[in-house]
Structure 1
Amino acid sequence: MDASPRNHASGGGRGDGYGDEQPHVLVVPYPAQGHMLPLLDLVALLAARGLALTVAVTPGNVPLLAPLLAACPPSSPGILPAGCGENTKDLPAHLFRPLMVSLAALREPLLAWCKAQRRRVTAVVSDMFTGWTQPLAAELGVPHVTFSGSGAHYLAVSHSLWRRMPRRHSPDDADEAVAFPDVPGSPSFPWRHLSWLFRQYVAGDEVSEAIRQIFLWNLKSSCFVANSFTAIEAAYVERPLHDLMEKKVFAVGPLSDAVDRCADRGGKPVVSPACVAAWLDAFDDGSVLYVSFGTQQVLSPAQAARLADALAQSAEPFIWAARSGTAVPEGFEAATAGRGMVIHGWAPQVEILRHRAVGWFLTHCGWNSVLEAVASSVAMLTWPMSADQFTNAWLLAETGVAVPVAEGADVVPDAGQMASAIALAVGKGGTSVRERAAELGRSTAAAVGEGGSSYRDLEGLAIQLSSAVSSHFREHMM
């Protein structure tokens, strides 16, 4: 569709007399729901501060982002088979890496678009998976900003991997520890907990080398922006990560909390929020467990059966948001009807987490879900499965707001052990964790409120992006 300046996600600039030199930010998301939603929240917050922004997406993502669309480059050619989707929700997992690489073919069309605009692009903000926009920004002579929908901790760990390229001494040992000396606190993680993108790297392979280059380009950015806040990972956001990136990290999250926690997040629930709230009203404060594993992960029949057994054995009230395709055992819903609700499909997660009766969240530890729980003062039972979820679970345990119950996309947990963990957590055994979650929830509200740490970082980012002189922007990033 036409990418004229009047179709920007925001209105004009700050009215500071620059005319055609007013700030104009090109935003390039990565087409996956967990990546796009927080970046679009950032777009909304920057637009509210007077910046003009253009969001660039491919035609296949037009229906998802119609209210914000401004630029619509051609579909990405090359590596993907003809007819493939342009969003991870439409692709099998083995095509995620080729999709990430194929998007780089949009660099030249985007460059041509930028050069054709009357109002020149003055900065580029892109997802950490679209680092190929850094050389585009360099050719335009404007600053490049890397955005992470995850936390600053994962931002540091993932980029450390691609810069240092650690290798296993024992190729068959998935538990071999990998140290991160250039990350605050020098943490270490077993090989199996590292980024799946990195673990699939093969030297000399076209896709592997292209993905590494994307992350290396990110390290040349003027600054980084993380959907996080100081209280949850102070060591990673209170000071620039000089040992690794030598650039400032703006912690501006939780972005969904700063925009509107009750806004439509891209789907329609199969059960209305009012109906769920009425059901929850019958239970005591903090007594209900909410269970959800996000939009990408489908439990296997064996995993779903074990989870159902654990929920039945624990005797605690629960809501289970079972993603479409999850095989909930026959008879389970009838057997637990007095204290359980199963939602088949998209659930009003934010409203559920905010209800006073919900005290715990059994989660895969996707960062968006983590932040929604933290903002709602809800403690977590963790079952990380892929991507950044393992390091997120580690961070939550370190912060004192979560208890591990399982890990791995293929693991079939012991129902009895999980039931015991649920009963202990929801009962008095989880009191200290819930108290810490409540404390962190108060810190979240303070961070995004006027004058809070995230509010100040957002204001600082907006000011830097509003600078019409790239060198002035870069001076403030160092």
Structure 2
Amino acid sequence: MDDASPRSRASSGSHGNEKPRVLVVPYPAQGHMLPLLDLVALLAARGLALTVAVTPGNIPLLAPLLASCPPSSVATVTLPFPSSASELLPAGCGENTKDLPGHLFRPFMAALAALREPLLAWCKAQRHRVTAVVSDMFTGWTQPLAAELSVPHVTFSSSGAHYLAVSHSLWRCLPRRRCLDDADEVVSFPDVPGSPSFPWHHLSWLFRMYAAGDEVSDAIRQFFLWNLESSCFVANSFMAIEAAYVERPLPDLMEKKVFAVGPLSDAVGRCTDRGGKPAVAPASMAAWLDAFGDGSVLYVSFGTQQALSPEQAALLADALARSSVPFVWAARSGTAVPEGFEAATAPRGVVIRGWAPQVEILRHRAVGWFLTHCGWNSVLEAVASGVAMLTWPMSADQFTNAWLLAETGVAVAVAEGADAMPDAGQMAKAIASAIGNGGTSARERAVELGRRTAAAVAEGGSSYRDLEELVRILAQ
């Protein structure tokens, strides 16, 4: 086998091809890969054999999965990162979005489509055939691969069913602005349940940058159109928060089933983060939180890819100082926390630089609210913990996620936009009100939603039943 050929590996040795397998194709971004790998673990635990396709730089992310799954149930096929990517990407740019600057995300997404032919060749060379293809919604180029193999194709959304519906409606209908200078121009979605409307600048940046005739733009649109030809869809969500979008998710495609099988981290029993070694030990953080009353602490985090500017960090620090509320601020590495802030707030505040044990923090009884950018994984972790949210969406699916949370009644908006500079005094009042009596009703709804989340993934719950039905389809 030469270096340009895909390499196969079973999780426990040489038995990776003993029975027909489901091919799984993740999108190499941690927020996409980790939920899909949780799904793989659940499918493997129910007797399916699966092969996960990755490039060499993403193999480390599979290590926990391979270590925890039943022997020989999960194999990998390692595909060389496409050499043709050099036409769209600079050399040595990395194989996962965590290694990329934002302006390379779109060409990176398009470049991965070059993996289709070597992956198809690998499938055809296997002694035991691939019986289905499950792929991320950003890798829609796998749908014609599945069609050539005459097997079902399943599109996986690491986000919710609402975002699945809105994003695919965008790419299908291609709405355009009447006034190119008006970022607030409203775009309506009459074909999506509830007929939501969003200002132009809240739409996915992948779509807003679309230009007909541009190679990258047209490739990305085609990926989403191919998704619409899938046999069914799987969303990392659950009925209690998204029933309308699960039951009638996509325009003109009511016959296409959406399986809501989340929150996947809860379904798989993963109660800890998988982002690396935390900057503070969970036990130390729990001991600090133990000193505070139930629901009295605010947790603050904007994820691993959303950086606050120095001005925004100063504004947030000012708001936290004025609020007089106990807090834990997980500040992304490089965040310019103002000098003297930590000393001034030390009795009631902690700043964590680097990776925080977010799941453990959110599940502590003292944490009642979460100031968040509304990334879907963070949203699900908060919902599963029964924690209400103060929302500051900045990009991608975060605006539609914030809208959904407001509709559900478990969130209050404090800002929006990656460049927003909200008033520190107003933010401080919103924080103080949330932790105080003003946030009681939202917190009560969040606690109840947390109970319903646990019920969804428990045996007999809605997510459990959808997972069992998905297994039956994939096992045929």
Same fold (TM over 0.5): yes
Correspondent of 2:161 among 152, 161, 165:
152
**Match of 2:190, as an amino acid?**
P
Distance 2:218 2:257 in 1: 27
**Match of 1:308, as an amino acid?**
A
Distance 2:309 2:442 in 1: 30
Q: After superposition, where does 1:2-401 map in structure 2 within 5 Å?
A: 3-4=7-8, 6-7=10-11, 22-67=19-64, 68=66, 70-78=76-84, 79-239=88-248, 241=250, 243-244=252-253, 246-401=255-410
Q: Secondary structure at the match of 1:346?
A: coil
Native 8 Å contact 2:374 2:393 kept in 1: yes
Native 8 Å contact 2:162 2:249 kept in 1: no
**Match of 1:371, as an amino acid?**
L
Distance 1:353 1:91 in 2: 29
Native 8 Å contact 2:300 2:328 kept in 1: yes
Percent pairwise identity: 82
Native 8 Å contact 1:9 1:53 kept in 2: no
Query: How has the CA–CA distance of structure 1 residues 5 and 236 changed in structure 2, closer, same or farther, with 3 Å as cutoff?
Result: same
Please name the residue that 1:473 is paired with.
Answer: none
1:11 Cα deviation from its structure 2 partner = 8.3
List gaps (5 residues or longer) in structure 1.
14-19, 468-478
Q: TM-score by structure 2 length? A: 0.94
Query: How has the CA–CA distance of structure 1 residues 11 and 341 changed in structure 2, closer, same or farther, with 3 Å as cutoff?
Result: farther
Query: How has the CA–CA distance of structure 1 residues 387 and 456 changed in structure 2, closer, same or farther, with 3 Å as cutoff?
Result: same
Native 8 Å contact 2:164 2:249 kept in 1: no
Query: How has the CA–CA distance of structure 1 residues 154 and 121 changed in structure 2, closer, same or farther, with 3 Å as cutoff?
Result: same
Distance 1:44 1:97 in 2: 29
Native 8 Å contact 2:166 2:192 kept in 1: yes
Q: Secondary structure at the match of 2:180?
A: coil
1:138 Cα deviation from its structure 2 partner = 0.5
Native 8 Å contact 1:2 1:70 kept in 2: no
**Match of 1:268, as an amino acid?**
K
Distance 2:50 2:186 in 1: 43
Native 8 Å contact 1:160 1:244 kept in 2: no
1:82 Cα deviation from its structure 2 partner = 1.3
Distance 2:218 2:255 in 1: 24
Distance 1:429 1:436 in 2: 13
Native 8 Å contact 1:377 1:438 kept in 2: yes
Distance 1:278 1:176 in 2: 49
**Match of 2:333, as an amino acid?**
S
Distance 2:12 2:32 in 1: 20
- After superposition, the C-alpha distances for 1:411-446 in whole angstroms (9 at most, x for unaligned) are 111110100000001000000000100110011000
**Match of 1:74, as an amino acid?**
P
Which stretch of the first structure deviates more once superposed, 147-156 or 233-242? 233-242
Distance 1:442 1:27 in 2: 31
1:2 Cα deviation from its structure 2 partner = 7.1
List gaps (5 residues or longer) in structure 2.
67-74
1:12 Cα deviation from its structure 2 partner = 7.9
**Match of 1:119, as an amino acid?**
H
Distance 1:131 1:254 in 2: 23
Q: Does 1:457 align with 2:466?
A: yes
Native 8 Å contact 1:38 1:256 kept in 2: yes
Please name the residue that 2:70 is paired with.
Answer: none
Native 8 Å contact 2:273 2:359 kept in 1: no
Query: How has the CA–CA distance of structure 1 residues 218 and 9 changed in structure 2, closer, same or farther, with 3 Å as cutoff?
Result: farther
Q: After superposition, where does 1:404-415 map in structure 2 within 5 Å?
A: 404-415=413-424
Native 8 Å contact 1:10 1:53 kept in 2: no
Q: Secondary structure at the match of 1:233?
A: helix
1:5 Cα deviation from its structure 2 partner = 6.7
Q: Secondary structure at the match of 2:23?
A: strand
Distance 1:11 1:398 in 2: 49
**Match of 1:73, as an amino acid?**
L
Query: How has the CA–CA distance of structure 1 residues 320 and 240 changed in structure 2, closer, same or farther, with 3 Å as cutoff?
Result: closer
Distance 1:2 1:434 in 2: 50
Please name the residue that 1:17 is paired with.
Answer: none
Q: Secondary structure at the match of 2:274?
A: coil
Aligned-residue Cα RMSD (Å) equals 1.7
1:261 Cα deviation from its structure 2 partner = 3.4
Query: How has the CA–CA distance of structure 1 residues 107 and 84 changed in structure 2, closer, same or farther, with 3 Å as cutoff?
Result: same
Q: TM-score by structure 1 length? A: 0.93
Distance 1:410 1:348 in 2: 27
Please name the residue that 1:476 is paired with.
Answer: none
Native 8 Å contact 1:8 1:52 kept in 2: no
Correspondent of 1:444 among 453, 468, 473:
453
**Match of 2:456, as an amino acid?**
A
1:77 Cα deviation from its structure 2 partner = 2.6
Native 8 Å contact 1:224 1:250 kept in 2: yes
Please name the residue that 1:471 is paired with.
Answer: none
**Match of 1:140, as an amino acid?**
L
Native 8 Å contact 1:8 1:55 kept in 2: no
In the alignment of these two chains, the number of paired residues is 460
Query: How has the CA–CA distance of structure 1 residues 465 and 303 changed in structure 2, closer, same or farther, with 3 Å as cutoff?
Result: same
